[in-house]
Amino acid sequence: MSTQGHDKKRVVIIGGGIGGGLVAKTLQFGADVTLIDPKDFFEIPWANLRAMVEPSFAEKSVINHTDYLTNGRLVISHGAGVTDTEVLTADGQQFPYDYLVVATGHDEAFPRTKDGRLKQYEAENEKIKAANSILIVGGGPTGVELAGEIAVDFPKKKLTLVHRGARLLEFVNPKASTKALDWLTAKKVEVILEQSVDLTSASDGTYKTSNGESIAADCHFLCIGKPLSSSWLGETMLKDNLDSRGRLMVDEHLRVKGRKNIFAVGDITDIPEIKQGYLAQVHSQVTAKNINLLMNGGDESKLASYKPPKGKPIALVSLGRKEAVAQFPFMTISGCIPGMIKSRDLFVGKTRKTMGVGSKPHAKTAK
Q: How do the domains of the chain map onto residue ranges?
A: 10-38+77-108+226-302, 114-225+312-355
User: Which residues make Cβ contacts (< 8 Å) with residue 244, sequence separation at least 6?
Assistant: none
Select from 3.30.200.20, 3.40.50.1820, 3.40.50.720, 3.50.50.100 the CATH code of 114-225+312-355: 3.50.50.100
pLDDT level of residue 309 (50, 70, 90 thresholds) = confident
Distance CA 273, CA 335 (A): 26
- Please enumerate in sequence order all residues whose Cβ is within 8 A of that of 179, keeping only pairs 6 or more positions apart, or say none: 325, 332, 334
pLDDT of 367:
39
Over residues 287-295, the mean pLDDT reads: 98
Residue 106 falls in which region: left (phi positive, over 0), alpha (psi -120 to 50) or beta = beta
Q: What percent of the chain has pLDDT over 90?
A: 88
Give residue-wise pLDDT tens across range 76-126. Answer: 999 999 999 999 999 999 999 999 999 999 998 899 999 999 999 999 999
pLDDT band at residue 363 under the 50/70/90 scheme: low
pLDDT band at 299 (very low <50, low <70, confident <90, very high): very high
pTM (predicted TM-score): 0.93
Superfamily of domain 10-38+77-108+226-302: FAD/NAD(P)-binding domain (3.50.50.60)
| Cα 98 to Cα 184: distance, rounded to the nearest angstrom | 51
Give CA–CA dist 62/126, Å, rounded: 19
- 106 and 226 Cβ atoms separated by less than 8 Å: yes
What is the chain's mean pLDDT, rounded? 94
Q: Do domains 10-38+77-108+226-302 and 114-225+312-355 have the same CATH topology?
A: yes
Distance separating the N- and C-terminal Cα atoms of the chain: 24
The pLDDT tens digits of the residues spanning 217-227 come to 999 999 998 99
Amino acid identity of 60?
K
Residue 232 confidence (pLDDT)? 96
- Name the DSSP letter for residue 135: E
**Percent of the chain at pLDDT exceeding 70:** 97
Q: How far apart are alpha carbons 198 and 205 in whole angstroms?
A: 13
Residue among 98, 102, 85 at smallest CA distance from 35: 102
